[in-house]
Amino acid sequence: MKPRIISLIILVIATALAFFVFSPEKVNQEGDSLSKFPFKFGLDLVGGSHLVYKADITELEKTEVGESMQALRAVLERRLNPFGTSEVQVRIEGASVFAENSENEQRVLIELPGVTDPNEAKELIGLIPLLEFRLAISDEEYNQLTEGRDLTTNPLLPGEVYKQTPLTGRFVEKATVGSDHLSGQTVVNLRFNGEGKDLFAELTRDNVGNVLAIFLDGEPISTPVIRQEIFDGNAQISGDFILEEAQELARNLNFGALPVPIEPISTQSISPSLGNDVLNASVKAAMFGLLCVMIFLIGVYRIGGVVASIALMIYVVILLSLFKLFGFVFTAAGIAGVIISIGMAVDANVLIFERIREELANGKQIAAAVKDGFARAWLSIRDSNLSSIITAIILFYLTTSLVQGFALAFGIGVVASMFTAITVTRTFLSALAVKNKTWRKHLVGSLPKIQHHNK
């Protein structure tokens, strides 16, 4: 296919993407976007609450930590964003790889855009119950515990006469309200998922005649005796509930019980006005930087600079489309990453134009000069961009969320800039390859003087 036809196709696609990116988003009365693909902004741009929690993983095996923390994140997301429509962000972070005891530290970072009162956010999180299934200790364990102990002045607590089991609320698939068919008492029925079903079957098989107590937030709410092995993964919570209490418990359990306990470390709130100021300043800086770069390119490389400027605008449209389509969250650091990636795009174009200049100075026709100039510039562009992409990957996986936004935007920006420089710029320049001395003179600015030495 001819370069001019391909160039036209690229322009049509870029125009469609521009409409997708810059078309006004419809909002409801509360100001929430009704668009299927809205731009998402971090707390530093729109305001809200940032909470950090520490997860207690001391009771978990090392092999269980990863799975439990992912389950914790899923539970918190369901509880804080039950309809999946808000911009709630829940992330799990370990300590820095260079910190002591990094394997034993897990943190939960929660961002709630629009929730400027951290106490409100804490109340939402505090509603999530911690559901546990504990076995009553044996007679031998009981005797060891009470030996030499005055139970009248130092009575046993519920937590002392029951021991932990691997079965927790994270294995609950569904909770419903029902009634006991014998007593007519209101109960909450639990159905476990596949893994929970196997754990429950094993517990009931190995502990027939023992008490398997159901604890909610550290308090026993039901102490049923295991009569037989239960294969089907169904359990029942009874605790003299009134209907409203049972309904509330079932609702909270369906949102998810926490698989591990968490405790707050820090809270921070950002006002919406401050976030808007940061957003406006960041956008202005990006636009001003892009404009300066385009002026530089056109001033130095003439027609080639115009082509590169169009390619840069297409790069911006592609980048914003990716952020909008895949729901990436813009932060102030992320915008900084985008601005730096624009510099990478300019660097690639400068390398390309300088190589084309040299080829034209050697007397080659425009088509051949464009082809050979790109071939000579490609290795330098590839190595430069690959090193930047590797840096972005390292920053994303080995740092905290404060840096990850920058790394993600920078990495995506580098890939998009490399695509536009190599594909879009090359196609447009090839489409301009005509045998015209004036066109040749102004294609990439003034040509260097090449001295040829006779052997």
CATH of residue 120's domain is 3.30.70
Query: What is the model's pLDDT at position 99?
Result: 46
pLDDT tens per residue, range 399-428? 766 677 788 888 888 888 888 877 888 888
Region 80-90: what's the mean pLDDT? 62
Instruction: Kindly report the backbone phi and psi dihedral angles of residue 163, in degrees, each rounded to the nearest multiple of 5, phi listed first.
Output: -115, 150
CATH number of the domain residue 19 falls in: 1.20.1640.10
**Same domain (yes/no): 277, 387:** yes
Query: What is the distance in angstroms between the CA of the first residue and the CA of the last residue of the chain?
Result: 43
pLDDT value, residue 85: 44
**Contact between 217 and 200 (Cβ < 8 Å):** no
Q: Are residues 376 and 304 in the same domain?
A: yes
**pLDDT tier at 83 (50, 70, 90 boundaries)?**
very low
Q: Which has more pLDDT, 244 or 33? A: 244
Give the amino acid at 339: I
Give buried/exposed letters for 295-331 (b at 16+ CB in 10 A, else e). eebbeebbbbbebbbbbbbbbbbbbbbbbbeeebbbb
User: 332 and 217: one domain?
Assistant: no
Look at the chain and report how many structural domains it folds into.
Answer: 3
Indicate whether 391 belongs to any domain.
yes
Q: Which of 313-327, 353-367, 399-413, 433-447 is predicted with the least confidence, judged by mean pLDDT?
A: 433-447
Instruction: Verify that 286 and 347 share a domain, yes or no.
Output: yes
Q: Is the pLDDT of residue 92 over 50?
A: yes
| AA identity, residue 28 | N
In a domain, 40, yes or no: no
Domain that holds residue 194: 131-147+154-257
The more confidently predicted of residues 309 and 79 is 309
| Rounded distance between C-alpha atoms, residue 236 and residue 243, angstroms | 15
Q: Which of 208, 235, 268 is the last residue of a domain?
A: 268
Pick from 204, 231, 257: which residue ends a domain? 257
Give pLDDT, residue 434: 62
The one-letter amino acid code at 99 reads: A
Q: Is residue 415 part of a domain?
A: yes
Q: Which of 57-61, 246-250, 436-440 has the lowest mean pLDDT?
A: 436-440
pLDDT for the residue numbered 12: 92
Backbone angles phi, psi at 22, to 5 degrees: -100, 0
226-280, pLDDT tens digit by residue? 888 888 888 887 777 888 888 877 776 666 567 777 888 887 777 767 667 777 8
User: For position 201, what pLDDT does the model report?
Assistant: 92
